[in-house]
Each structure stands twice: as structure tokens, then as C-alpha cells.
Amino acid sequence: MNPYFIVDTAKSFEKASADLQLAVAADGFSVLVVLDLGDSLRSKGISLAEQCRVFDVCNPQQAAKVLMSDMKLNMALPCRISVYSEAGQTRIGMIRSEGMLRNLSSEPDLMEVAQEVESSAARISQAAALNSLV
């Protein structure tokens, strides 16, 4: 299985970013931090033509289940969903939670949490890509 979930959108980078924030909230998650990786690199004198904004998102109930099962997994939290441009195309993507956690734990209960989180994050990404939320 592809370790990435990526959906293309006809929206501008800015519109997709704004709509992602709304889709995150609508699905019961919250945005903890937004890192504008493109601007950060450009501010350091690095020429990067593409845009890239990384959203650290969290569902507190799901995060608590993961941490109560294995505190070391704090290093895999929170979930990250990115809005970025690539060759003129705006994309929204993430690393699939289930595959990532499968590499870090063999706990069956965590696989269920990972599947739920991955489904939610994919739904959030698709909503932001397809729907007009703002």
C-alpha cells in the first residue's frame, strides 16, 4: 500500500489551506500548529518555488488512546496534514497513520485507532480539496 494519501485540488494554495482548517474543526480535530515550511525556508535565503504548509492536527481522544497504550508513540504525534504545491498543482496529503503505526507497534488496539485516525484525516483532506468551506 502507498504510504501516502494525497488528493489534488483545483483550489489555490491559500484557499486549500483555509478550507483545511475548517475541515479539521468540522471533523472534531483541532489544529495545534501551522508551519509554513515554504516561507520558513525562503526566510533563510533558500530559493523554493513551491508552497508548503504543514498542519499539526489532533483528536485528543485518539491521541490519549495511543499514549495510554505506549508512551513512546508520542514521537509519532500529532498527525500532520500538508497543503503544498507541486509543479503548479495544489495538493493535500499525509503519511498514512496505519502504516506508520504498524511499523512502530504490534498492539492490535492501536491498529484500530490508527485506522480510525487515517479515515478521519483522509475525509478531512478530501473535504478541504473538494468542498467550498469558506
CATH code of residue 104: 3.30.310.70
List the one residue out of 81, 79, 86, 25 whose CA is nearest residue 50.
86
Q: pLDDT of 115-130, one tens digit each?
A: 999 999 999 999 999 9
pTM of the entire predicted model: 0.92
List the one residue out of 86, 94, 91 whose CA is nearest residue 122.
94
| Domain total in the chain | 1
57 is in which domain, residue-wise? 4-130
Q: Are strands 79-86 and 30-36 parallel, antiparallel or unpaired?
A: unpaired
DSSP label at 15?
H
Residue 80 cell numbers, joined: 500532520
Q: pLDDT of 17-42, one tens digit each?
A: 999 999 999 999 999 999 999 999 99
